[in-house]
Amino acid sequence: MSFELSREHEEFRRSVRDFAEAEIAPHVAQWDRDHHFPVDVVHKMGALGLFGLTAPEEYGGAGLAPEDGPFTSLCLAIEELGRVDQSMGITLEAGVGLGINPILTYGTDAQKEEFLPPLVAGEKLAGFGLTEPGAGSDAGATKTKAELVGDEWVVNGSKQFITNSGSEITSLVTVTARTGTRDNGNAEISTIIVPSGTPGFTAEKAYDKLGWHISDTHPLSFEDAHVPAANLLGEKGRGFAQFLATLDDGRVAIAALAVGLIQACRDLCVEYALERQTMGGPIGRKQGVAFQIADLDVMLQAGRLLTYKAAAMKDAGAPVKEFKQAASIAKLYTSESAVTATRIATQVFGGYGFMEEYPVARFYRDAKILEIGEGTSEVQRMLIARGLGLPVK
C-alpha cells in the first residue's frame, strides 16, 4: 500500500493552505483573545467543500470514490487548518467526523435527507454527545436515559465537553443514552438525534478552556426533552458500538490535527533560529537549538506517515481490526509528539515563547487536549496492547 499523495491531493492541500493563510491567519490571535467563534469562516469552509469531502453528491458532498481518497482529503484539510489554528481544525474534524459521519453511516434515508444537506454545506453544525461527568474514558457508564413513551423518546441526563454543540449554527446533537437493560444486567445504550431548540435541551454556558479558545464547547443538559421515535439513530441497543466505530475515524483525524501543529512548530522554529542573533550569529548554529529542531522534523515525518497510512487504510476499506490498531498508533504518537513539539518551540523562542503575541504560546496551550480527546493516551495504549493479544484491562 502506497501512502504517497496524488497530484490531486497535493493540489487540494495547497488550496486549503491558501484559504487558511488568507481567511484565518490574519485574525486568529484576536479571535483567540476574544474566545470568538467565527461563524462566517465556517460558512466559507463549507463553500470550499470541506464539510462535504466524505459525503455523497446526493446530500451536496464531493461524491469522491474510495480510490480518490475522501478520508485522506479530510485529514489533509484538518492538517492544513491546524497548521494555522487548532480550533478551526477541530471545528472541521468534529463537524464531519462527529457530526456528519454518524448520521451518514447509521441514519435512515429520511434522517439523511432531513439533517445532512445543511451540515454538508457548512451552513449548520452538529455535536457528538458521548462524554458525561462520570463517563469519559468509561463511556459504558453513561447515565443519560431515553425512555420511549408512545411515539416519542423522552431524554434526561447531561453531557460535557461537547464540541460544536452550542453555536448559533448548531442544528442538532446525537447523544448516547440508556434505553433499557440487557439480560446480563448491562445497560442497553442507543443513539438519539436531538435537534437544537428542542424544549428541555439546553446548551449550558461555554467552557473557559485552557486552549482551543475559538472552538465552540459546551456542557449539555436534558430535562424531559421529547423527540420523535424516528430520531433513533441506527439500531436500538447499538449506540455504544456505533460511537466506538466513530471514534476510530476521529482518532486519525486528531492525528492529522496534531501533524499540522508539529508542522507549524517546526516551521516557526526554523525561521526563528535563522533570524534570532546572539553571540555573533544565529541561534540555529548552536547544537543545543539545532538538534531540538531536527527532532521536530523527525516527529513530523514519522507522524505524517503514520497518519497517512491510517487514512489510506480507511479509504481502502482495510479490516476493522487492522484499521483500529493503525488509528490508535497514529493518534498516540502524533498527539504526544505535538505536546513535545510545543514545549520545544516555546524553549527555542525563549522568553518570547511565553508571550501571547507569538503563536507558539497559543499552540502550547492548544496541544494538551490532543492527548485527551477521542480517547486518552492511556486508552490508546490499552487498545494497542489488546491488538497485540495482551489481556490488559
Tell me the H-state helices in 108-236: 109-120
- Cα torsion 167, 311, 60, 45: sign: positive
Q: Is 374 a catalytic residue?
A: yes
Contacts of 102 (CB under 8 A, 6+ apart): 128, 174, 191, 233, 242, 243, 246
- CB-count burial class (<10 Å; 0-12, 13-18, 19+) for 126: buried
Number of other CB atoms surrounding residue 389 within 10 Å: 6
Burial zone of 4 (CB within 10 Å; 0-12 exposed, 13-18 middle, 19+ buried): exposed
Amino acid type, 102: P
CB 207 within 8 A of CB 219: yes
Among the listed residues 308, 274, 187, 287, the one whose alpha carbon sits nearest the alpha carbon of residue 239: 187
Q: Please give the DSSP secondary-structure letter assigned to residue 262.
A: H
Residue 121: strand, helix, or coil: coil
Cell numbers at residue 24, please?
Answer: 484565518
What is the Cα–Cα distance from 46 to 210, expressed in whole angstroms? Answer: 27
**Beta bridge pairs of residue 176:** 191
Residue 192 and residue 153 in contact, taking contact as beta carbons nearer than 8 Å: yes
Q: Which residues contact 90 (CB under 8 A, 6 or more apart)?
A: 82, 163, 212, 215, 257, 373
Cβ(146)–Cβ(178) below 8 Å = yes
CB atoms within 10 A of CB 354: 12
> Which one of 93, 132, 336, 374 is the catalytic residue?
374
Q: Which residues have C-beta within 8 Å of that of residue 391, sequence separation ≥ 6?
A: none
Tell me the C-alpha to C-alpha distance, in Å, between residue 69 and each of 10, 54, 73, 334: 12, 9, 6, 21
Instruction: Give me the active site residues, please.
Output: 374
